[in-house]
Amino acid sequence: MRRILAIPLLVSSLLFGLSGPAIAATKVIVLPGAASAEGITDAGGGTYYTGDLVAGTIFRENLKRGTAERFIEAPPGTGAAGLDLDRRHDLLFVAGGKEGKAYVHDTRTKARIGDFTFGDPATTYVNDVVVTPYGAWFTDSYHPQLFFVPTTGGVLGTPRTLAVTGPGAGGSPGNFFMNDVIATPSGDTLLVAATTPGKVYTINPITGASKEIAGVNAPNVVSLVLEGRRLWAVQLDDTISRWCLDGDLSHGAAAGVIKDELFDQPVSAVKVGNQLAVVNSHIFSGYPPTSPTYEILMVGA
């Protein structure tokens, strides 16, 4: 998951229009011993977590210092696609990818306290997760549905499935669709990135009804960052596109792109001050990826 911040609309629009494309990463942070890299989330206090898609390892970084360490070692067969942290209760939610898997770790003890299997394990791919005030939402890349794990006082509740309707209800076995999911600060609106059509949709978490955010066209979009009404769409074509959204999140206007010579299939990002921390996936090198290193790049937002 790519955490969302809230800032005033007028100020954000002015600043957004003045930002130019990044031309060089200011810092490169290599994930030690990584076999791949996928999601990133802000843990507060300068700490961030990143997941290894193939091996399931959870890394802990201090992006200001430029350091990264292996934090949670996963059992064989465990994946870590998107991830997000419930910072109130130190619970790290991890989308496990294949076989409909998802996990929850207590970051204070590193213990796995939740192990879920959603949907049909043969066809379900749990790709990303966002934590809201009510619990955690997970995407299924091959079916028009979301999975929800409620939380109360840090206690995990019984999962349920929400059917998605409307234009965001793409996806079927063999047809990759929904990838990332984020939420407004209240948790009352979800936003999902649909990789194949390169579109972004809002979803009502109560009814499952979806709407396309008109004007936003982001080919191969895999990840989103939202700050106020500023949207960044991370694309596998080595581009991060910027968008200004209107007040009801129904329309977006293009506001430039970020490119960097070190981008190599960026797959997720998180806002860090006036920069983005961008995870390079190298996913086009094969599956599993064969890059000798996997890294986080710090670029201007």
Name the token pair of 197: 């059509």
Over residues 151-204, the pLDDT tens digits come to: 999 999 999 999 999 999 998 888 999 999 999 999 999 999 999 999 999 999
Amino acid identity at 41: T
Over residues 112-138, the pLDDT tens digits come to: 999 999 999 999 999 999 999 999 999
Under 8 Å between Cβ of 294 and 31: yes
Q: Report the top-level CATH class of 9-300.
A: mainly beta
Burial class (CB in 10 A: 0-12, 13-18, 19+), 10: exposed
Q: What is the pLDDT of residue 162?
A: 98
For 74, the enclosing helix (H) or strand (E) is none
Q: What is the pLDDT of residue 25?
A: 86
Could you give the percent of the chain with pLDDT greater than 90?
A: 90
Point out the least confidently predicted range of 15-24, 37-46, 82-91, 158-167: 15-24
Given a cut of 50, whether residue 78 has pLDDT beyond it is yes
Q: What is the pLDDT of residue 252?
A: 98
Could you give the percent of the chain with pLDDT greater than 70?
A: 92
Over residues 283-301, the pLDDT tens digits come to: 999 989 999 999 999 999 9
Question: Would you place residue 21 in the very low, low, confident or very high pLDDT band (cuts 50, 70, 90)?
Answer: low
* Cα 75 to Cα 164: distance, rounded to the nearest angstrom: 32
Under 8 Å between Cβ of 138 and 174: no
pTM more than 0.85: yes
